[in-house]
């Protein structure tokens, strides 16, 4: 589509859309594609961080249930780095 091998009209016909609609969509993509990609990357990073924090919270809940100190570092006995601090 972006390589120019086919015309907008050919691509529109192939997918059953009006050539003007395809032209508008292509223009919007070319103008805002990188912005949309950056937003998707940020959303993926937030989802990854949320999953990490949920896993940490679950571990701390288990630690509380078995009587361990949830703020102690499992390997060294000292306090852990706060999960929300960067």
Q: Once rounded to an integer, what is the mean pLDDT over residues 77-83? A: 54
Structural domain count, the chain: 1
**Owning domain of residue 19:** 8-65
Residue 55 lies in a domain: yes
Residue 38 lies in a domain: yes
Rounded (5°) CA angle 73-79-62: 50
Residue 72 lies in a domain: no
Condensed to tens digits (0 to 9), the pLDDT of residues 1-13 reads 566 688 888 888 8
With cut-offs at 50, 70 and 90, classify the pLDDT of residue 75. Answer: low
Residue 30 lies in a domain: yes
Cα–Cα distance measured from residue 60 to residue 79, given in angstroms and rounded to the nearest whole number: 13
With cut-offs at 50, 70 and 90, classify the pLDDT of residue 52. Answer: very high
Neighbours of 45 (CB within 10 A): 10
Give burial (CB, 10 Å; 0-12/13-18/19+) of 22.
Answer: buried
Is the CB of residue 1 less than 8 Å from the CB of residue 26? yes
Residue 19 lies in a domain: yes
């Amino acid at each position: 589509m972006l390589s120019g091998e086919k015309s907008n009209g050919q691509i529109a016909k192939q997918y059953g859309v009006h050539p003007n609609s395809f032209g508008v969509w292509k223009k919007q993509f070319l103008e805002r594609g990188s912005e949309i990609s950056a937003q998707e990357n940020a959303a993926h990073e937030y989802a990854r961080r949320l999953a990490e924090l949920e896993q940490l919270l679950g571990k701390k809940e288990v630690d509380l249930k078995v009587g361990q100190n949830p703020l102690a570092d499992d390997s060294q006995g000292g306090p852990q780095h706060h999960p929300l601090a960067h």
